[in-house]
Every structure is written in C-alpha cells, then in structure tokens.
Amino acid sequence: MNRFDFDLFTIGAGSGGVRASRMAGQLGAKVAIAEHSRIGGTCVIRGCIPKKLLAYAAHYAEDFEDARGFGWTVEGASFSWPALIASKNSEIARLEGVYKSVLDKAGVETIRGTARLADAHTVEIGSRRVTAKKILVATGGRPSRPAIPGAELVITSDEAFELPALPRRILVGVAVATRKPSSRGSP
C-alpha cells in the first residue's frame, strides 16, 4: 500500500509546473497540481501572450497606411480598445483551457487554492491536507514596485494588461535585479 496520496504534488500551474506534472502523469505517476490563480502562469496569463497580442494590434495602424503604397484602400478602419482587451482575454481563457485539458488527459488532479508546505511530504490547501512522495515548488514570480520616490505612480504588467482605456502615452521601464559581489571576490 502506498503511504502517500500522490507520487508528485506540484505547487504552481505555470508553464514549468504544468509541464512537469503532465509528463509525470503521462509516465504513470499519480499527480496533483495546486494553483491559487489561473492555470498558465505568467507567460500565458499576464506576460508573453498578452504582450504579443497588444504588440500585434499596435502595428495595424502603420500597416493600413503602408497598404496604400501597394494599391490598397482601407476606408472606415477604426480601433476599439475594449474590443482588443476582450479578444485578448478570450485568447488567454482559451489557452488556460488548453493547459487544463492537457493536465486532465495526463490524469493530473487540479486543486484550486493556495498550497502551503506543512512538512517534507505534506501540503495544505485550505483545510485539505495531502501527502506526496515528491513535492515540486514551481510558483514563479510576481512583479513588485520598487521602494523609490514616485513608485506610487507605477503600474506593473498585471495592471497594464487590464487598463480600462488606451493610455494617451506610456513609458515602459525594466527593473534589473542586482546582487552584491561576495566578499571573496567571485560572483
């Protein structure tokens, strides 16, 4: 008799957690994955995919103008920010469904909620406790605002992808994490 509820329990259903769980499930392991938010993680839900969709949309104004030089007349073209955001949200929901489907097909149990390690083989999700031979923590990261003057004026990518109206102007910055060199002089 197996002393654990699962062979593998994954905390976090982003790309890495989904892939590891799916592969283990396909190889016959009894697997569960916990996610407190949406399945797909940063790239699918609030990173790569929504960024690409908005970037593609941004090019159409120039493309319509360029088309005139190739004999095209594009009259009456208009843009709707709410329609773009609705389309983006629809595509993200579709991709989230794909991720959920591949987990289901691999026999992976999906548990909605925030998972917390109780010990080396026990995870708590709300009032539920489960045990696993192996636990994979694949929680990824979240954006944060720096503790600098003016930070209250900053939004993260999470908020940027849900703006109710198209901003007239926007400045995009990238924060780079740095670390101090060790006292031994090596990185």
Reported as a single tens digit per residue, the pLDDT across 122-150 is: 999 999 999 999 999 999 887 888 888 88
Closest by Cα among 46, 63, 15 to 160: 46
36, exposed or middle or buried, with CB in 10 Å at 0-12, 13-18, 19+?
middle
Helix (H, G, I), strand (E, B) or coil at 161: coil
Q: Quick check: is 125 in a domain? A: yes
**Reported confidence tier of residue 182, pLDDT bands at 50, 70, 90:** low
Q: Quick check: is 161 in a domain? A: no
CATH number for 80: 3.50.50.60
Q: Quick check: is 114 in a domain? A: yes
In angstroms, the CA 79 to CA 124 distance is 47
Counting the structural domains of the chain, the total is: 1
Q: Quick check: is 179 in a domain? A: no
What's at 177, amino acid-wise? A
In angstroms, the CA 31 to CA 53 distance is 33
Q: Quick check: is 184 in a domain? A: no
Q: Quick check: is 180 in a domain? A: no
- Structural domain including 20 reads 6-142
Instruction: Indicate the pTM of the whole model.
Output: 0.81
Helix (H, G, I), strand (E, B) or coil at 137: strand
In angstroms, the CA 46 to CA 48 distance is 7
Which of the listed ranges 72-76, 77-81, 97-101 does the model predict with the highest average pLDDT? 97-101
Reported as a single tens digit per residue, the pLDDT across 82-112 is: 999 999 999 999 999 999 999 999 999 999 9
Q: Quick check: is 69 in a domain? A: yes
- Alpha carbon of residue 146 to chain centroid: 21
In angstroms, the CA 39 to CA 15 distance is 9
Q: Quick check: is 181 in a domain? A: no
